[in-house]
């Protein structure tokens, strides 16, 4: 994958070039390859691409054949299905918002990273609503990547996976599950007392639960669990539970802690 430079470095290199500094010297000063300087000059000086508009002009994996970071996509898709939504703003630009508990700063930083991996060079912004952090990136192409976007709530509509999405999710089921379980899942600790050889012992039974009102999303969750070999059962009409010791351990490993 191409290395992503910060806008500041690009801007500084272009200013240096505008000032007449040769490409080789400019490359040295900014710690990049000469061909990178040439590419930036081609893009911004000759083709007149507006600087600082990268957040709107990023190429789309669906419309323009841009590369898609499949692992980041699979996970972000899980987050979107759990706690995300897309709104239409001005001039046909959509915004993807992911909601997550304020109590998990590491995961919130991770969501920002996922967004910039799916939309390179984007700068997610965040705002707080009671108890939650909302992370947002604007892009015309969010509906291309998340065609499940539509009017009304996700669980009131039939959702269909496009073939290319199914391919990505099947190639990266653990990433998809990480997004799903961190957004709409929780790890709960059940316990029970049992008398063993006359002695009362306490047993902990941790389990993972995924709760979602959409039968389609629950089915995709179960299919991904099948792919990673984690046994599950439907413990209520809206809940998928993983409760075998091996299944919980495997999911702990794949999903990681909430933090
Ligand atoms: Zn597109």
Q: What is the pLDDT of residues 207-239, one digit of tens each?
A: 999 999 999 999 999 999 999 999 999 999 999
Whole-number Å distance, alpha carbon 139 to ligand 1 midpoint, is: 9
pLDDT in tens, 69-118: 999 999 999 999 999 999 998 888 999 999 999 999 999 999 999 999 99
Q: In what order do the strands lie in the sheet with 199-211?
A: 185-196, 199-211, 239-242, 233-236
Whole-number Å distance, alpha carbon 132 to ligand 1 midpoint, is: 29
- Whether the CB-CB separation of 85 and 186 falls below 8 Å is answered with no
Q: Containing H/E element for 57?
A: helix 54-57
Report how far residue 39's alpha carbon sits from residue 245's, in angstroms, rounded to the nearest whole number: 53
Whole-number Å distance, alpha carbon 133 to ligand 1 midpoint, is: 27
Report how far residue 175's alpha carbon sits from residue 169's, in angstroms, rounded to the nearest whole number: 8
- Whether the CB-CB separation of 23 and 34 falls below 8 Å is answered with yes
Q: Which of 9, 31, 13 is nearest to 22 (CA)?
A: 13
- Whether the CB-CB separation of 225 and 174 falls below 8 Å is answered with no
Whole-number Å distance, alpha carbon 65 to ligand 1 midpoint, is: 9
* Residues in a beta bridge with 65: none
* Residues in a beta bridge with 191: 204
Report how far residue 202's alpha carbon sits from residue 196's, in angstroms, rounded to the nearest whole number: 10
Whole-number Å distance, alpha carbon 63 to ligand 1 midpoint, is: 4
Q: Can you give the pTM of this predicted structure? A: 0.76
Please count the other Cβ atoms lying within 10 Å of the Cβ belonging to residue 24: 10
What percent of the chain stands above pLDDT 70?
93
Whole-number Å distance, alpha carbon 241 to ligand 1 midpoint, is: 36
Band (55; pLDDT cuts 50, 70, 90): very low
* Residues in a beta bridge with 240: 210, 234
Whole-number Å distance, alpha carbon 60 to ligand 1 midpoint, is: 5
Whole-number Å distance, alpha carbon 76 to ligand 1 midpoint, is: 17
Please count the other Cβ atoms lying within 10 Å of the Cβ belonging to residue 89: 10
Band (195; pLDDT cuts 50, 70, 90): confident
Whole-number Å distance, alpha carbon 57 to ligand 1 midpoint, is: 11
Q: What number of CA atoms fall less than 13 Å from residue 19's CA on the CB side?
A: 9
């Amino acid at each position: 994958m191409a290395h992503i430079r910060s806008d500041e470095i690009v801007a500084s290199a272009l200013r240096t070039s505008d000032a007449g500094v040769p490409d080789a010297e400019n490359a040295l000063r900014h710690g990049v390859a000469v061909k990178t300087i040439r590419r930036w000059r081609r893009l911004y000086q000759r083709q007149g691409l507006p600087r600082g508009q990268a957040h709107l002009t990023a190429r789309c994996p669906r419309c323009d054949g841009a590369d898609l970071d499949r692992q980041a996509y699979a996970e972000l898709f899980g987050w979107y299905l759990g706690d995300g939504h897309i709104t239409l703003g001005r001039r046909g630009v959509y915004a993807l918002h992911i909601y997550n508990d304020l109590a998990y700063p590491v995961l919130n930083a991770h969501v920002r990273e996922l967004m910039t991996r799916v939309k390179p060079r984007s700068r997610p912004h965040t705002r707080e609503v009671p108890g939650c952090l909302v992370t947002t990136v604007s892009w015309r192409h969010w509906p291309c990547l998340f065609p499940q976007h539509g009017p009304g709530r996700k669980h009131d509509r039939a959702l269909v996976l496009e073939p290319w999405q199914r391919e990505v999710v099947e190639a990266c089921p653990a990433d998809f599950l990480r997004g799903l379980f961190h957004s709409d899942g929780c790890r709960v600790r059940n316990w029970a007392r049992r008398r063993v050889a006359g002695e009362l012992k306490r047993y902990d039974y941790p389990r993972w639960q995924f709760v979602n009102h959409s039968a389609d999303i629950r089915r995709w969750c179960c299919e991904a669990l099948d792919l990673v070999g984690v046994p599950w059962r439907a413990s209520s009409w809206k809940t998928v539970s993983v409760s075998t010791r091996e299944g919980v351990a495997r999911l702990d490993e794949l999903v990681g802690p909430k933090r």
